Amino acid sequence: MSVRVAKTAGFCFGVNRAVEMALAAAESRERVYMLGQLIHNRAVTDKLASLGVREVQTLSEVPEGSAVIVRAHGVPKSVYEEIAARGLELIDVTCPFVRKIHRIAERESAEGRRVIIMGDPTHPEVIGISGWCQDASVCQDAAELEKLCLEYADFAAKPVSLVAQTTSNRTKWEFFVNNIKKLYTNPKIFDTICNATDERQAECAEIAAQSEVMLIIGDRNSSNTRKLKEVAETKCEKVYLIDGARELDKRWFDRVRTVGITAGASTPAWIIKEVVNQMSEELRNQVAAEAIDEAEENFEQMLENSIKTLYTGDKVTGIVTAINSGEINVDLGVKHAGYISINELSDDPNYIADGKIKVGDEIEAFVMRVNDVEGTVQLSKKRLDVIKGWDTIEQAREDRTTVEGTVIEENKGGVVVSVGGVHVFVPASQTGLPKDAEMSQIMKQKVKLRVIEVNRARRRVVGSIRAVAQEERRAKAEQIWAEIEENKVYNGVVKSLTSYGAFVDIGGVDGMIHISELSWNRVRHPSEVVAVGDEVEVYVISFDTEKKKISLGYRKAEDNPWTKFVTNYAIGDVVPVKVLKFMPFGAFAEVLPGVDGLIHISQIANQRINKPDDVLSENEVVNAKITDIDMDRQKISLSIRAVIEDGEAVEAADAE
């Protein structure tokens, strides 16, 4: 019997994010409440309950001053408003892809369109989406949509926008879309089915078609899991939905050669592992029974095995019996005593045996030399690691998976990374470092790389650190685009400067701060405010998902000099101002850094003048009265003449 487990089985990005955030909240806060089930998996919610997170169905059950976790499926807008009104702490773990549907529904509804949701009307995700629009209709399939159109005469009259529950079946969605186009002239279609759902269902169908028995692991309340069962049943006759290993029935696998396994997006990895381990145990029992049927091992053979002699090149497993300063003693269960020199433990230059190996540990090793006279066996764990490392390297090349190693050597062409004892050459162009950068900066560091070339005969392996970095950057970029919102704050790094602004990496995606958004003061070049490599806090002003452009802001609203001006000054105040420049009609003067006012030529002196610079000079500081403030246009009128006349009036009064 062979068992195949789907690569897409288990937590998706959104669920994994939700669980991690909830666990972090449970560890850092005393009173945490979960509004409904975090995800549709009781094992996960039970785990949170054991950490003190209490599940409630309404906000009225949450005491004042507590933290509230909003589940991954999302909630209506009214729930957020109630949380804010009561001053509760919000921990929003809504799946970013579901949150995106909320924004679509709210926007389309605000434009006067009816939002039609394809999904289960009783599902928390659909209930949450409905709560973000004024006029929503939920249909599970095309038949329900047609029924609505027949029952309500004006149903097809209003413009509509269509979204789908993220876990919807792709085939059903396409049929639904084709039907809606027949009923409406200009419907707006938003394909909101999660890509992970498509991939999971496609792989489920593929494995089910090749299996005699198909196991679907997950909570029966999970829409995602139930749809996997529906998909599998179209390809396989025997499909079983289980919530864990305890529900396995041996009778399902009688005379079965192939078994497929997948799991819903809310199923933890440990539950999948339990099922797979039990299936593996069944497989071992089956193999053992077949072996016993073929022949029984005789006593003489068993005796020979117990006193067998070891040979150079053998792979052995033993128990650590002693640890000395220079070597480790190993009991191999034979007449020879085994030992491993400290320098044969690992190829990692940073490896320290102390604390990693202890007496009683089981250890695998490679036989380097057998001394029958002294009754000793010289072993090497490092060389066995190399043998295993080659297998890992070749498998990683075939599967295009990532491996991890330590940079152990630097040369002119690049660096050498030890991956499980195998030396992988990484050319300078594939290190991810800038051109002409010193390779020494990554010496002895742990790095992830992608194997791009393997020649075991010549013992040559070539890898790329840059390829992994690019993939991680793409993954981070996808996450950012899934979660991005206007006014959202990011911590970023300045990557480059131009005459018109600064480009900032906000974690996988570059955005631009226009020069006008760098500072409230006049800036001639971005370098006056930031430099390449600076860590900066920025916020999103606007974004275009199609063109992949993000406009960022850096200057803070609280630093707006106009706000400071209107807070501290009023019409009639006399203030010292600095003359900046002259125009034929007057002079501009600085009231505060970033706030200028105009002194009209008629207000410069108490007598007629031909030009402003006949009386004033640049950078001269004079007293002027604020005679007018235009709030809409943010303009200020100043008068030196008014100050002079006020002074003359005071003198005249004193003379009387």
What DSSP string runs through 274-336?
A: HHHHHHHHHHHHHHHHHHHHH-PPPHHHHHHHHTPPP-TT-EEEEEEEEE-SSEEEEE-SSSS
**Sole residue written with tokens 């191999």:** 332
Angle between helices 195-209 and 170-183 (to 10 degrees): 120
Q: What pLDDT is attached to residue 354?
A: 65
What DSSP designation does 517 have? G
pLDDT band at 348 (very low <50, low <70, confident <90, very high): low
Instruction: Give Cβ neighbours of residue 566 (< 8 Å, ≥ 6 apart).
Output: 629, 631
pLDDT band at 292 (very low <50, low <70, confident <90, very high): very low
- Six token digits for residue 352: 């320290």
Q: What pLDDT is attached to residue 159?
A: 85
Per-residue pLDDT of 509-556, as tens digits, reads 899 999 988 888 778 899 999 999 899 999 999 998 888 899 999 987
pLDDT band at 340 (very low <50, low <70, confident <90, very high): confident
pLDDT band at 416 (very low <50, low <70, confident <90, very high): very high
> 213 versus 564: which is more confidently predicted?
213
Q: What pLDDT is attached to residue 319?
A: 86
Query: pTM for this one?
Result: 0.41
Per-residue pLDDT of 365-386, as tens digits, reads 888 888 766 677 888 888 887 7
Q: Is 539 helix (H, G, I), strand (E, B) or coil?
A: strand
Selected catalytic residue, list 61, 89, 125, 404: 125
Cα gap 367→234, rounded to integer Å: 53
471 is catalytic: no
Distances (CA, A) of 544 to 67, 481, 511, 540, 548: 34, 10, 11, 11, 6
Q: Find the helix or strand (DSSP H, E) in which 1 lies.
A: none
